[in-house]
Amino acid sequence: MIFESTIQKANLIMKLRSMGISSKNVLSAIEKIPREIFLPSNLKDYAYENIPLPIGFEQTISQPYIVALMTEALSLKGNEVILEIGTGSGYQTSILSTLSRRVYSIERIRPLLVNAISCFKRLKLTNIICECGDGFLGWSKLAPFDHLIITCAVEKIDNRLLSQVRFNGMCVVPVGSVLKGQRLKKITVKNNRESDIWEDLGQVNFVPLISDNY
């Protein structure tokens, strides 16, 4: 079984390369973090398929390509402090933790957060700090962050979130809706919203951000 998963993982890495993921650090992180531990037991055989999978509570673990794409877009050097909105399974969080100094992550569904924290402990990832709560307003008392990553779709990115990112920091976020379609956006944060630089990273399909403030 170990040998089989090693082959599956190697095939996934080759698939990600063929889809345009070129960062050796990101590919190494994908290779290092075992995706299967974040999945329900009946789905572990699909861990290294390049597909999203359900994790309960109408949430999903993103497909590895999207995790790699969002991570690569941040151009991490290893000393960054990142805010993640939407811990979910904890898979994306774990990838980020291997490539940055610290990850602060917010999740509104407590059972998912409990499971994610259990995975972090199994992997001995000690640079992740989590909170159960509404991620829409970010984590202002710890701001500014070097980067912001949002793993659920918003129809419009709130200024209160972008203002928690350092000058020239980046925000990677799915923007849009299920009905109208979603595009993954990379925003380089400037002094005011009119000067922010927006880049389009392609079509995506995320569960929507659910918030009392949204």
**Active-site residue list:** 62
Q: What is the 3-state secondary structure (H, E, C) of the chain?
A: CHHHHHHHHHHHHHHHHHCCCCCHHHHHHHHHCCHHHHCCHHHHHHCCCCCCEEEECCEEECCHHHHHHHHHHCCCCCCCEEEEECCCCCHHHHHHHHHCCEEEEEECCHHHHHHHHHHHHHCCCCCEEEEECCHHHCCHHHCCEEEEEECCEECCCCHHHHCCEEEEEEEEEEEEECCCEEEEEEEECCCCHHHCEEEEEEEECCCECCCCCC
